[in-house]
Amino acid sequence: MRMWAWVFPGQGAQKVGMGKAVYDTYEEAKKTFQEADAVLGFSLSDLCFYGPEEKLRQTAYTQPAILTASVAMWRVLEARGVRPDVAAGHSLGEYSALVAAGALDFADAVRVVHRRGQYMQEAVPAGGGTMAAVLQADRETVNQVCAEVSREVGPVELANVNCPGQLVISGRTEAVQEAGKRLLERGAKRVLPLEVSGPFHSSLMKPAAQRLAGDLARVPLRDAICPVVSNVDAKPRRKADEIREALVRQVAGPVLWEDGVRAMIAMGVTQVAEVGPGRVVSGLVRKVDRKVEILAAEDPDSLEALWNRWEAVKES
């Protein structure tokens, strides 16, 4: 039996116009955007479709925008009978995965991630923290350099393990810069500053995690209908209380995406389908294991192609 993993993108996948063609084509998608507008009290759909890009890049708006576009596309597939075998999402995308797995209502999700974005934005003053991608360095070296720089300069930590050869560090701006210099000296091929508004997935986000914990304590969560692989430790979860705890830890903890992909493959996953804007997450999966079939859906044509492939695999 073939096993599907449905994966969802995180922050960075946003682009003006995302979801517009799906909104115009499918009633399920239109209702999803309209529901988000009603929940938030402003036109998120207009922001997604028409921008401005500067506002769409603001974390408090980016997060509900990507979630809404992803869930809109998922609901088109769900209406045709698609059910997940396992789900996962990159950082913010974990909320989309939980909606797909039936653990979290969409209205609650869009409300929570809007606040999550606000809390993350407010945790560190503008310019006080940043992130950088580190290419072709091993995890042990990155952790060692981060520990050294944290003692000598300021906090910097491993924030993302995306795929072999692609790690991300996060922390105080000056500490990230110093860690980048030392990593180049120790063999990293490149260190690329990221255009982000804060040091996400580092201990500097603990104030945001504490604020989010209060919100999540009031959000109804159900046991998931399928395993959802958590970013923070790459473990599959189905129990509501365990999911809630993982979401709180995730804000200030690392995104262990590569580990999560390997965990899904060990569970028997043979197809990975990314649902939502862009194809970044499915591209990372391909770099982890090229034997897995990779599919993606972000517009009507790719949604139809994914649906047809799902039907063909199901019947084979």
114 belongs to the catalytic site = no
Q: Report how far residue 248's alpha carbon sits from residue 308's, in angstroms, rounded to the nearest whole number.
A: 37
Q: Which two tokens stand for residue 301?
A: 């044509």
Q: Please, what is the angle between helix 59-79 and helix 106-122, to 10°? A: 160
Would you call 163 exposed, middle or buried from its count of C-beta atoms within 10 A (0-12, 13-18, 19+)? middle
Residue 106, Cα to own-chain centre: how many angstroms?
Answer: 16
User: Residue 81 phi/psi, 5° resolution?
Assistant: 100, 5
201 belongs to the catalytic site = yes
Determine which one of 45, 70, 91, 197 is catalytic.
91
Q: Which two tokens stand for residue 96?
A: 């989309």
Determine which one of 90, 197, 201, 282 is catalytic.
201
CA angle (249 as vertex; 247, 253 as ends), nearest 5:
120
CA dihedral 32, 35, 40, 42 (to 10 degrees): 90
**277 in Cβ contact with 14 (< 8 Å):** yes
- The neighbouring-strand residues paired with 235 are none
**287 in Cβ contact with 294 (< 8 Å):** no
Catalytic annotation, residues: 91, 201
